[in-house]
């Protein structure tokens, strides 16, 4: 079955269809990871996006439930150069084609993904349509794009991820389950709450610290989070990841900008300014903190991306609050940066000790 990708600038790529037999639209982006296609597809940060995989063969090890980053993927479509004819892995439960059919996500294979990636790098990511009839694309693209991605994917109700240690309230903007896994490895007692939870409701949980999760879309589309973050950082240690990092920056007076094609993959080298140490990171973001906007705020830059100088980490001057643009939880990707979670736990331990001292004074 022939299927087409039609970009907003009129460029058309022809290929073969797989996955769901449905039409879809979304921002067309590319991911440079060589593995981890299931974790990528189920990452809620890709909500309403059509994912192009630059690695030429995708689907060769199938799909297994244990690799999901969310229960229901929210991406709009999947583009690959070659779809594996059969999956070979002892954990595989179904093929990628079957998985996309199950979740009503269309795919297209057989196009030149190198050419598509170069086009997006040169012209910037843009909206596109996966369709069996390219004549319908213009009408679809004329419709306004949704800007409520966080509301689409964030949990509507609180839920626990039980542990025996530090109490963490995780504010969900589009959570990756691997973040919960890293907190669980540190025995944290986590409560996940919706992104629009009030400060009073969070305070009633008596947290030792707050984690602002990753998530999809433009951080400026979540303005209600900013006063909440400002109030939280005055009372609790905070750590932000990806979208949480961008919201932390906005809450403290910095600005964010849309990148031409973003960082999506897990080969991004990041330098920690204080130590000079460099490590590889997993990343998935199309927006970044504007470095010129940080001057005059209470924020300090702690990490930068080596290739393009993107702000990759921040610390508050007056509060125990940090954030990183990359994913220290990885999955997929290198685990070079998992120590960030240890830093967060150390911040919570220090704050807890200080609170005990103050209560005994």
Is residue 82 exposed (0-12), middle (13-18) or buried (19+ Cβ within 10 Å)? middle
Please give the Cα distance from 52 to 357 (Å, whole number): 53
Is residue 60 exposed (0-12), middle (13-18) or buried (19+ Cβ within 10 Å)? middle
Please give the Cα distance from 307 to 75 (Å, whole number): 27
In this structure, are 157 and 122 located in the same domain? no
Helix (H, G, I), strand (E, B) or coil at 39: helix
How long, in residues, is the chain? 361
- Is 217 labelled as part of a ligand binding site? yes
- Which of 118, 141, 164 terminates a domain? The answer is 141
Please give the Cα distance from 239 to 190 (Å, whole number): 14
What are the two backbone dihedrals, phi and then psi, of residue 340, each rounded to the nearest 5 degrees? -60, -35
In this structure, are 99 and 172 located in the same domain? no
pLDDT confidence of residue 358:
79
In this structure, are 131 and 166 located in the same domain? no
In this structure, are 276 and 211 located in the same domain? yes
Give the global pTM.
0.97
* Residue 214: closest CA among 284, 315, 161: 284
**Over the chain (361 residues), what is each successive 10-residue block's mean pLDDT?**
96 98 97 96 98 98 96 97 95 97 98 98 98 93 94 97 96 98 97 98 98 98 98 98 98 98 96 96 98 98 97 98 97 94 98 82 63
In this structure, are 191 and 109 located in the same domain? no
| Token pair for 361 | 């004074």
Is residue 206 exposed (0-12), middle (13-18) or buried (19+ Cβ within 10 Å)? exposed
CATH of the domain at 188: 3.40.50.880
Among 43, 208, 329, 336, the active-site one is 329
- Which of 141, 172, 190 terminates a domain? The answer is 141
- Which of 141, 161, 176 terminates a domain? The answer is 141
H helices present in the chain, as ranges: 37-41, 96-102, 113-123, 137-141, 149-153, 177-185, 199-203, 225-233, 243-251, 339-360
In this structure, are 136 and 188 located in the same domain? no
- Is 287 labelled as part of a ligand binding site? yes
pLDDT confidence of residue 361:
63
> For the chain, how many structural domains are there in total?
2
CB atoms within 10 A of CB 106: 23
Among 119, 177, 303, 327, the active-site one is 327
In this structure, are 192 and 302 located in the same domain? yes
- Is 246 labelled as part of a ligand binding site? yes
* Count of CA atoms in the C-beta half-sphere (13 A) of 214: 27
H helices present in 158-242, as ranges: 177-185, 199-203, 225-233
Among 47, 75, 242, 345, the active-site one is 242
In this structure, are 125 and 156 located in the same domain? no
CATH of the domain at 129: 3.50.30.20
For this structure, is 327 an active site residue? yes
- Is 141 labelled as part of a ligand binding site? no
For this structure, is 43 an active site residue? no
- Is 277 labelled as part of a ligand binding site? no
Domain span at residue 52 reads: 2-141
């Amino acid at each position: 079955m022939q299927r087409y990708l039609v970009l907003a600038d009129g460029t058309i790529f022809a290929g073969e269809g797989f996955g769901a037999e449905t039409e879809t639209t979304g921002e067309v982006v590319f991911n440079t990871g060589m593995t981890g296609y299931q974790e990528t597809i189920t990452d809620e940060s890709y909500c309403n996006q059509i994912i192009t995989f630059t690695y030429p063969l995708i689907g060769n090890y199938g799909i297994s439930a244990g690799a999901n980053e969310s229960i229901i993927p929210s991406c709009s479509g999947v583009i690959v150069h070659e779809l594996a004819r059969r999956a070979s892995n002892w954990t595989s439960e179904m093929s990628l084609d079957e998985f996309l059919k199950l979740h009503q996500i269309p795919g297209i294979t057989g196009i030149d993904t190198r050419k598509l990636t170069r086009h997006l790098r040169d012209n910037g990511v843009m909206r596109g349509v996966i369709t069996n009839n390219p004549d319908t694309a213009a009408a679809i693209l004329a419709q306004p794009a949704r800007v409520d991605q966080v509301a689409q994917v964030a949990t509507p109700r609180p839920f626990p991820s039980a542990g025996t240690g530090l109490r963490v309230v995780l504010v969900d903007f589009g959570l990756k389950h691997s973040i919960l896994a890293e907190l669980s490895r540190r025995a944290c007692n986590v409560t996940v709450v919706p992104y629009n939870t009030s400060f009073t409701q969070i305070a009633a949980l008596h947290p030792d610290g707050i984690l602002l999760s990753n998530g999809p879309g433009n951080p400026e589309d979540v303005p209600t989070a900013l006063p909440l973050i400002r109030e939280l950082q005055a009372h609790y240690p905070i750590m932000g990841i990806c979208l949480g990092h961008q919201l932390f920056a906005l809450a403290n007076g910095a600005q964010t900008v849309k990148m031409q094609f973003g960082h999506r993959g897990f080969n991004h080298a990041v330098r920690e300014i204080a130590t000079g140490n460099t490590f590889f990171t997993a990343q998935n973001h199309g927006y970044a903190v504007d470095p010129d906007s940080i001057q005059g705020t209470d924020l300090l830059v702690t990490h930068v991306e080596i290739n393009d100088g993107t702000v990759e980490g921040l610390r508050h001057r007056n509060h125990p609050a940090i954030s990183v643009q990359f994913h220290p939880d990885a999955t997929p990707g290198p685990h070079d940066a998992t120590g960030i979670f240890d830093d967060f736990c150390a911040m919570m331990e220090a704050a807890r000790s200080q609170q005990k001292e103050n209560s005994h004074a």
